[in-house]
């Protein structure tokens, strides 16, 4: 089970590797078992498993066991951790912009 109380920096760092980002982006489109995921990537299956471990530890993906297969999917709470900071910041900035634009008069 992934730890969800991560600092955003963990998620940022986990997505630094280009192959890992590709793995993440493919899972963002649809959940996949390791084998299928590795089939479409120019790296070995053990390497894909390694990348998945890092993404899982950063709280970006989760794994569900389906019979003998391990199916990975993007953990929406992990993405939230990354976006959260900027999201809150822009809410504040855009509200301040709105107030300024409405306060001002056209001369």
106 binding other proteins? (CB under 8 A): yes
Residue 67 Cβ vs other proteins, minimum distance, rounded to whole Å: 26
Residue 48: which residues within 8 A CB-CB, separation 6 or more? 23, 34, 37, 38, 41
Footprint of other proteins on 34-73 (CB under 8 A): 43-44, 46-47, 50-51, 53-54
Dist CA 84 CA 72 (whole Å): 23
Q: Which residues of 34-46 are buried (b: 16+ CB within 10 A; e: fewer)?
A: beebbeeeeeeee
9 binding other proteins? (CB under 8 A): yes
Cβ atoms of 41 and 22 closer than 8 Å: yes
Nearer to other proteins, 28 or 71 (CB): 28
Residue 104 Cβ vs other proteins, minimum distance, rounded to whole Å: 6
Q: Which of 2, 34, 71, 79 binds other proteins (CB under 8 A)?
A: 79
Chain Cα centroid distance, residue 88: 17
- Name the segment binding other proteins (CB under 8 A); options: 31-39, 64-72, 84-92: 84-92
């Amino acid at each position: 089970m992934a730890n969800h109380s991560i600092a955003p920096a963990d998620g940022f760092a986990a997505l630094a590797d280009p192959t890992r980002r590709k793995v993440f982006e493919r899972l963002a489109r649809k959940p996949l078992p390791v084998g299928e995921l590795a089939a479409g990537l120019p790296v070995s299956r053990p390497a894909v498993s390694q990348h998945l471990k890092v993404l899982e530890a950063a709280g970006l993906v989760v794994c569900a066991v389906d019979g003998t297969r391990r199916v990975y999917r993007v953990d929406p709470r992990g993405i939230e951790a990354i976006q959260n900071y900027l999201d809150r910041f822009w809410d504040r900035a855009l509200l301040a912009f709105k107030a300024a634009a409405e306060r001002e008069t056209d001369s």
